[in-house]
Structure 1
Amino acid sequence: MTNKKPNLSDCVRNNIVQFILSHYKEGSLKLGTLTKAATQFGVHRRTITTIWTQAKEQMEMGLPVYLTNQKQGLVRQKHKLFDPELFKTIMLKRRSTIRRAAQALGVGKSTFWRWKQAKQIRTHSNAIKISLTSAQKLLRLQFCMQSIAVDTTINKFRFKSMAHIVHIDEKWPIYDSQGLCIFDGKIRMYPFIEQVPAQRSSVNRAAGTLETKAITSITREVMKDYMINRVVPDLKALWPLTEGTNIVIQQDNARPHFSDDDIQWRAVVSSDGFNIHLMQQPALSPDLNVNDLGWFRALQSIQEEEAPMNVDELVLAVLTSFQKLEPMKLNFVFLSLQSCMVEIMMQRGHNNYRLPHMKKQTLLREGALPEDLEVDNNLVSLCVDYYVDAGLNEAMLPVILELMKLEAEQV
């Protein structure tokens, strides 16, 4: 006999009852019947006693004796099923992130992620792989390669520190030797709005009441005014002087942007001991701008929690979100920018690649998150060969000379 609690079928249980009843005479059992039953059916005597007790209870109630297995089986939690019709009724802004969509559906993030993994839900992106000309590919490749240099401590290529590069209103956070954030990388946010009097009366306000309106026409003069009178003064006031005063502001190729040679601009950015320059990112290259790579996306996910109803509330929500956004999230986006640069180099300037994932959260927890990414020496060599074959440009000479020097040291 075994000490393991048996899981007897209904048939076996009732056979045991019939065996016992065959020894049941005039309201009593013959001595040793339960022991014989235990031996006959290979179970412990306590099991026989329990079965006989249940049978007697039914007999006393005048019921026909029939025992069933009352042991509950393994009850598995049923997975919630995805309801596509319910999902369609949720507003787009409420399903812009996994967290928000899961909340809207009343399920956990893990459940929503399981639906996504099962391809019942797919991520929608309006990003379009734009067809690039050969010249545009070369400019993208050159832009990436100019961002790398030889790290003499390991004799390998590495991306140059981007601590001095400002993407208009974003900046990589700066930490001191003790790991304390001495500059969170956030300069300011500047809403393009104006106060205009209401043309007509309504239930909400009388005619002539000042209303906040978005500036719909962002001209070059408007952009220059914001940059000279808002961005640069704030940048100078917030910049940690321990990091030097040479700063590069990267802007995209939108028409309102102006040249770094503008006389009025140069007078402002060359004063107070600062040396600030503008840098243009390659055309048709949103993957080379931290705004498009994740900054706006991270900001939007926070801003949407505020659910603004008008322009004033929207401005307040965005500014509040800007303050709430953690500096480390901005670090992550700049590392994503360097990852994209590596992919662009591998594609020889093309944009036909998937956004890389390097598990930054995991690396951060393990204390292994890099400040800047390394670039494989062979990849740099292949890109240089590709660029030389296409037509050498003087802008690539520093990288070529560094590569030649590095190869000479390794021989």
Structure 2
Amino acid sequence: MSNSTTTQTSRASRELTEELKVNIIKTLQKSMNKGKLGRGAIGNTAVLYDVHRGTVRRGWKDFVEGNISPKKAARVGRKPLVTRAEITQIVRDVPKEQRTTIRDISDATGLSLGMISRSLKNGTIKRRSSRLKQLLTDVNKIERLAFCRSHVRREAPDEGGSHVRREAPNDMLAETTDAAVVHMDEKWFNADQDRRKVYLTPDETVEHRTTKSKRFIPKVMFLAAVARPRFDAARDTMFDGKLGMWPFAVQAPATRNSRNRAAGSMVTSLINVTAESYRDFVLSKVIPAIKEKFPSTNKQVVLQHDNATPHASSKDCVLQTVSTDGWTFVIRKQPPNSPDLNVLDLGFFASIQALQRKVVSRSVDDVIHATLLAFEMLSMEKLADVFLTLQAVMRLVLEHHGDNHFKLPHLKKEAMRRAGTLMANVTCPVSLIDQADLELQQHEIQLPASQ
């Protein structure tokens, strides 16, 4: 047999694969004569496939008996020096502050880096990340509890006779059942980020990015206003919930010459977000957008925002000047230290930013264009999903007595939408509502009679 054939049939592993076993059997079958193996068939096959004669003989015997599967048990090899239970206990005895990296765990436990890597791969230990959350006082927790409780209503008994409480559809208020809520908030959007991940082929190199300082990266603050998507019966179409997104910037002529533009050229200048500028944006941009796009059958609108200092200028008395033509606008502040109770902070801003960062921006105008484009590209299904997540968060707030010590829920909304089983609203057990009512009564907090 030539050396080239032997090289082609050499094996990297000492264990025979199923494919190699089948090839050996086929080769032996070709040498059969009158139901028996030909003379020298086993030896020639062993040389051809670079295996021992005994291996070929046992393989043929197993084939004749009707079973060529491995005879070894499921777990073979030497016993581990340290069992999974021992590794779990050793790692558990180390303070969590000393488990931030694999090397830290190795230094603290004495286990090798390879052993820790294998433990991470087989699930003995897990990698998890944590983020700082807002510190809540007892008063904050009660306010969060009352806020979420006001968003729950009792439905009619189902077929089984049990009452079910469900998050109110369209984010309805308890005291005004046909009111609709518009979530408003501001956010900075940067032209670029300090660390950017990219996947490359072996012959590619990472792009060299430079800047004088992180302070020189252009950024723009935007005000966004959204509501829950719904069907607009008056227009016979779907209302996508996206009322608008506006940058705190103005076009003004340049006052002096520079190497970039001549004096008098129109340039984009940023506006400081003050009480006056925020009130002007609400009255001149948000309110007209609501009147233009909002379903006209529902003209009682609640504007929800956080407790930032510039928001103090927007009060109900200010909104009375624009509450015309049957429209009624009121302000509602979400509980302090509760960004998880606003749809924008909860996830919609993150979705916008994920799309905005796919476009390379080098100036303020580029940031504005990319951000507004991302806002328009997001589908109303994405916004509706965040509203469902908000309802799930409200239920968790009730479960944790107003605290924020919980993970954001994953409802698998996209899979449920494809299967046609996506719920319209998130349900809430009656026992949980009764528990919240009892806590609020103990703090002498009254809820509307409709609840």
Same fold (TM over 0.5): yes
Q: Deviations over 1:222-275 (max 9, x none)?
A: 111111111101110111223x2111111111111136645342121x201111
Q: State the one-letter code of the partner of 2:444.
A: L
1:68 alignment counterpart:
49
Q: Residue 363 of structure 1 is aligned with which of 416, 421, 424? A: 416
1:150 alignment counterpart:
154
Q: Deviations over 1:114-161 (max 9, x none)?
A: x99989997867x52222111110000000000111112533211112
1:277 aligns with 2:330: yes
1:82 alignment counterpart:
none
- Relative to structure 1, the CA distance from residue 301 to residue 353 in structure 2 (aligned partners, 3 Å threshold; closer, same or farther) is same
Give the Å deviation of 1:182. Answer: 1.8
1:160 aligns with 2:168: yes
- Relative to structure 1, the CA distance from residue 343 to residue 116 in structure 2 (aligned partners, 3 Å threshold; closer, same or farther) is farther
1:393 aligns with 2:445: yes
Instruction: Supply the distance in 2 between the matched residues of 1:117 and 1:249 (Cα, whole angstroms).
Output: 50
Shift >4 Å, 4+ stretches: 4-7, 45-48, 115-125, 259-262
2:300 alignment counterpart:
246
Q: Residue 136 of structure 1 is aligned with which of 128, 136, 140? A: 140
Give the Å deviation of 1:397. Answer: 4.9
Instruction: Supply the distance in 2 between the matched residues of 1:119 and 1:315 (Cα, whole angstroms).
Output: 47
SS in 1 for 2:250: strand
Q: State the one-letter code of the partner of 2:165.
A: F
TM-score (norm 1): 0.67
Give the Å deviation of 1:176. Answer: 6.0
Query: Does the CA-based 8 Å contact 2:232-2:295 persist in structure 1?
Result: no
Instruction: Supply the distance in 1 between the matched residues of 2:40 and 2:181 (Cα, whole angstroms).
Output: 79
- Relative to structure 1, the CA distance from residue 161 to residue 198 in structure 2 (aligned partners, 3 Å threshold; closer, same or farther) is same
- Relative to structure 1, the CA distance from residue 196 to residue 176 in structure 2 (aligned partners, 3 Å threshold; closer, same or farther) is closer
More helix by share: 1
Give the Å deviation of 1:366. Answer: 1.4
Instruction: Supply the distance in 2 between the matched residues of 1:46 and 1:147 (Cα, whole angstroms).
Output: 87
Q: Greater shift after overlay, 328-337 or 128-137?
A: 128-137
Specify every segment of 5 or more residues in structure 2 that has no aligned partner in the other structure, as ranges. Answer: 1-19, 52-119, 172-179, 185-224
Q: Deviations over 1:67-116 (max 9, x none)?
A: 3359xxxxxxxxxxxxxxxxxxxxxxxxxxxxxxxxxxxxxxxxxxxx99
- Relative to structure 1, the CA distance from residue 8 to residue 368 in structure 2 (aligned partners, 3 Å threshold; closer, same or farther) is closer
1:58 alignment counterpart:
none
1:266 alignment counterpart:
320
Give the Å deviation of 1:209. Answer: 2.6
1:203 aligns with 2:259: yes
Give the Å deviation of 1:388. Answer: 2.1
1:94-105 paired onto structure 2 within 5 Å? none
Q: State the one-letter code of the partner of 2:321.
A: A
Query: Identity rate of aligned residues, in percent?
Result: 32
1:42-81 paired onto structure 2 within 5 Å? 43=37, 48=41, 67-68=48-49
SS in 1 for 2:356: helix
1:308 aligns with 2:361: yes
Q: State the one-letter code of the partner of 2:134.
A: I
Instruction: Supply the distance in 2 between the matched residues of 1:47 and 1:273 (Cα, whole angstroms).
Output: 101
Query: Does the CA-based 8 Å contact 1:260-1:266 persist in structure 2?
Result: no
SS in 2 for 1:398: coil
Give the Å deviation of 1:278. Answer: 1.2
Query: Does the CA-based 8 Å contact 1:293-1:333 persist in structure 2?
Result: yes
1:331 alignment counterpart:
384
Give the Å deviation of 1:289. Answer: 0.6
Give the Å deviation of 1:5. Answer: 7.9
Query: Does the CA-based 8 Å contact 1:149-1:160 persist in structure 2?
Result: yes
2:343 alignment counterpart:
290
- Relative to structure 1, the CA distance from residue 214 to residue 291 in structure 2 (aligned partners, 3 Å threshold; closer, same or farther) is same
Query: Does the CA-based 8 Å contact 1:224-1:258 persist in structure 2?
Result: no
Instruction: Supply the distance in 1 between the matched residues of 2:262 and 2:361 (Cα, whole angstroms).
Output: 22
Query: Does the CA-based 8 Å contact 2:232-2:239 persist in structure 1?
Result: no
Q: State the one-letter code of the partner of 1:146.
A: S
Q: State the one-letter code of the partner of 1:166.
A: V
Instruction: Supply the distance in 2 between the matched residues of 1:281 and 1:331 (Cα, whole angstroms).
Output: 20
Instruction: Supply the distance in 2 between the matched residues of 1:198 and 1:206 (Cα, whole angstroms).
Output: 7
Q: State the one-letter code of the partner of 1:220.
A: A
Q: Greater shift after overlay, 197-206 or 136-145?
A: 197-206
Q: Which has the larger radius of gyration?
A: 1
Specify every segment of 5 or more residues in structure 1 that has no aligned partner in the other structure, as ranges. Answer: 17-32, 55-64, 71-114, 403-411
- Relative to structure 1, the CA distance from residue 360 to residue 116 in structure 2 (aligned partners, 3 Å threshold; closer, same or farther) is farther
Q: Deviations over 1:305-327 (max 9, x none)?
A: 12111111111111111111000
Q: State the one-letter code of the partner of 2:142.
A: L
Give the Å deviation of 1:46. Answer: 12
Instruction: Supply the distance in 2 between the matched residues of 1:398 and 1:325 (Cα, whole angstroms).
Output: 39
1:214 aligns with 2:218: no
2:311 alignment counterpart:
257
Query: Does the CA-based 8 Å contact 1:158-1:375 persist in structure 2?
Result: yes
2:400 alignment counterpart:
347
Instruction: Supply the distance in 1 between the matched residues of 2:312 and 2:21 (Cα, whole angstroms).
Output: 83
2:290 alignment counterpart:
235
Query: Does the CA-based 8 Å contact 1:259-1:278 persist in structure 2?
Result: no
SS in 2 for 1:308: coil
Query: Does the CA-based 8 Å contact 1:116-1:122 persist in structure 2?
Result: no
Query: Does the CA-based 8 Å contact 1:360-1:369 persist in structure 2?
Result: yes
